[in-house]
Amino acid sequence: MEKTHYKQEINMTPELMARINELISHYPEDKRKSALLPVLHEAQDAHENWLSIELQDKVAEILHIKPVEVYEVVTFYTMYNTKPIGKYMFEFCQTSPCCLKGTEDLMDYTCEKLGVKVGETTADGLFEVRGVECLGACGYAPMMQLGDFYKEHLTEDKIDQLITDCRDDKIILHDK
Ligand code: FES
């Protein structure tokens, strides 16, 4: 089967490169690879939350490593996206403490409200629902991650409000 190749416009702005170089500066010159995870986050955040092969190659070039070393990491972690995704990714924690507090029902509720299945993007490109493993905020179950932030003690009313706020462009996704 032929694999879809998603196109992405790559824009390594001076601001983005300054943030990347700052991250790299935390490591010795011969250990630039150690900055790979945070650099990928920066690159992804600056490119509509996904990393094309071309962008991964660019990261490899910046870190002086082989492209395959980047591909391995990007495909291992669920936090990196290799195709275009919804602008607002609702990442529900699906580990036991959150499930006991109703995550599954909330995911069903959210999917029904948005008219998608888990892993699908809404037709307007705005939303996607995903299940992830424990996010370390079990005391605030049920919870999800939205951008860089946690949304905790979720209820159907809170989901409704979040969806409205996203549609009204009132949600901040990144803390920088
Ligand atoms: S089980 Fe959901 S945050 Fe830990």
Give backbone dihedrals phi and psi of 150, rounded to 5 degrees, phi first: -95, 140
Q: Across residues 64-90, what is the average pLDDT?
A: 93
For residue 157, pLDDT beyond 70: yes
What pLDDT shows up at residue 5? 80
What's the gap in Å between 49 CA and the centre of ligand 1? 23
Q: Across residues 79-93, what is the average pLDDT?
A: 92
Is the CB of residue 112 less than 8 Å from the CB of residue 76?
no
| Burial zone of 98 (CB within 10 Å; 0-12 exposed, 13-18 middle, 19+ buried) | buried
The binding-site residues of ligand 1, defined as CB within 6 angstroms of any ligand atom, are 93, 95, 97-98, 134-138, 141, 143
For residue 2, pLDDT beyond 70: no
In terms of pLDDT, which residue wins out, 159 or 2?
Answer: 159
Percent share of the chain, pLDDT over 90: 86
Q: Across residues 79-92, what is the average pLDDT?
A: 92
Q: Across residues 20-45, what is the average pLDDT?
A: 96
What's the gap in Å between 111 CA and the centre of ligand 1? 20
What pLDDT shows up at residue 79? 85
